[in-house]
Amino acid sequence: MSKNLLLTLAVYRIILTAGLTLDLTELQLLGLHDQLSFEPSDVETASKDFGGLKRANPLAVLHPSSAEDIVRIVKAAYESAHGFSVSARGHGHSINGQATATNGVAIQMSSSRKPALTIVSEKFMYVDVWGGELWVDVLRSTMEYGLAPKSWTDYLYLSVGGTISNAGISGQTFNHGPQISNVYELDVITGKGELLTCSEEENSDLYHAVLGGLGQFGIITRARIALERAAQRARWIRVLYSNFSSFTQDQEYLISLHGQPDTQKFDYVEGFVIVDEGIINNWRSSFFSSSNPLKVSSFNDEGGVLYCLEIAKNYQESNADSIDQEVEDLLKKLNFIPGSIFTTDLPYVDFLDRVHKAELKLRSKGLWDVPHPWLNLFVPKSRISDFDQGVFKGILGKKTSGPILIYPMNKNKWGNKSSAVTPDEDVFYLVAFLRSALDDGIEIQTLEYLTNENHRIVRFCDDEKINIKQYLPRYTSEQEWIHHFGNKWAQFSKRKMEFDPKYILATGQSIFKPSFNPNKASRR
């Protein structure tokens, strides 16, 4: 049976089952018979994400072999009399269905058919990559030249376009800024189906709109990423605190060192909160022996909570003789619990890819493909102590269902032209509740319990007037989105009208209502 006939039968099946008004001839003329899939398995995959909280079926899934394939689909949606949504999907790691395309077309950017675009420039210290390329593959390509991107996410199996559409943060952000601060140039397909190159100098309004723009202004097909000389090894260290003030003061001190020339400093600064013993002995547990587990109670003297500072120093093998002294000198200035230093030394690539090992362990236990009601908040420095008292020592009640990351960032590393929003203070913290919901009969691990607890945390911040900003935000009303973007909203909505006037793109974010109703199919 010919591919054209298969496509025709598939589309007619959709018309009959969904009651859609589709111009079959228009779809056939797109010339995407090999790329456009109506297969139930493809539709099923594109209907869900890592969060596991929401499902929304697209009509079809595009596996692009070039940017031009995407241009054809977006132009068809823009010129369609009835309209349909188009959403780019990378590795499917969104939490609340942000990359879904209800009754539209999902663009599978990270498919095996993606174009081979990676080009490394040693002379100008950048790499050009396809928007659907995973960061782990970018790392592998650049390391062949002894180079690496400057800014990372903790988990490398995310697409370049996906993280740039949010911000892209990790323990290097305090120094290099988020990933959006390390992008020289982009190729973007707007909601009108225009393929444009943009940068600080060319189509700059589109460039700034797309960075942290939650996919609202265009689909990133190419990104030019800043590189640096890659380290060969990393000294990875954890130290414990029972006093929250000492913990945050040390974190803030460490991120301040990068404003001081000729000063020894760590290259990575993160941390996490320990409210029960299970977390410290199971999450990234290579530091602690299972035969001699670390006891929270043996260190605790402040409300049953411990805090772990996680730091790393990158180095070249030729400088191995000096790394011990450099680390020792830096640690002397910190106020952690004596005797609570845990250290490991590993190749730089293994350090960057550290979370993948935890993923493999969770997959082996059937604990990866479960709902993930994550909550990521930016908390201003001036209120982080109030947050500790009200949430870590209050709402959580000494129990959680996943790691809780906490680390500070410098606002001046973010710039102010992108679409990303942060608290209006020079230093703010990421607090990330990376929860996994389990159906094991334990109430505090259920999806309902954890979701309600997330709501309690946000309500606490509202009641106490802690001006948080959600990272990877999810809201359901225009008023909530206006509040989220604050003084950036007017520009954000204006850019939407300029670059996606029919509200075709990334409708799963629920920021703008499309001119068509994707949930209500029409009949001829």
Degrees to nearest 5, angle at CA 356 with 352 and 359: 155
Q: Which residue in the block uniquely carries the two structure tokens 């908390």? A: 379
* Torsion region of 28: left, alpha or beta (phi above 0 gives left; psi -120 to 50 gives alpha): alpha
- How far are the Cα atoms of 24, 233, 311, 314, 369 from residue 319, in angstroms, in the given order? 65, 10, 19, 10, 42
Question: Strand ranges (DSSP E) for 97-232?
Answer: 105-108, 119-121, 126-130, 147-149, 183-190, 195-199, 218-229
Q: Which residue in the block uniquely carries the two structure tokens 């309902």? A: 448
Strand partners, 432: 376, 405
3-state secondary structure of 304: coil
328 is catalytic: no
Q: Which two tokens stand for residue 235?
A: 């000294």
Strands 147-149 vs 119-121: parallel, antiparallel or unpaired: unpaired
- Which one-letter DSSP state was computed for residue 446? S
**The one catalytic residue among 42, 69, 133, 154:** 154
93 is catalytic: yes
Q: Which two tokens stand for residue 379?
A: 């908390």
Quick one: 488 exposed, middle or buried, by C-beta within 10 A (0-12, 13-18, 19+)?
middle
Strand partners, 312: 236, 268
Measure the CA–CA gap between 415 and 176, rounded to whole angstroms: 11
Measure the CA–CA gap between 32 and 495, rounded to whole angstroms: 30
CB-based contacts of 12, cutoff 8 Å, min separation 6: 24
Show the DSSP H helices in 353-408 as ranges. Answer: 354-364, 384-387
Strands 86-89 vs 105-108: parallel, antiparallel or unpaired: parallel
Degrees to nearest 5, angle at CA 482 with 476 and 484: 80
Are 71 and 189 spatial neighbours (Cβ–Cβ below 8 Å)? yes
Q: Give 47-86 as a 3 state SS string.
A: CCCCCCCCCCCCCEEECCCCHHHHHHHHHHHHHCCCCCCE
Closest C-alpha among 64, 79, 80 to residue 31: 64
**The one catalytic residue among 42, 63, 69, 93:** 93
**The one catalytic residue among 49, 133, 270, 353:** 270
Q: Give 94-128 as a 3 state SS string.
A: CCCCCCCCCCCEEEECCCCCCCCCCEEECCCCEEE
154 is catalytic: yes
Measure the CA–CA gap between 303 and 189, rounded to whole angstroms: 52
Closest C-alpha among 345, 361, 488, 315 to residue 415: 488
Strand partners, 195: 189
**Residue numbers annotated as active site:** 93, 154, 270
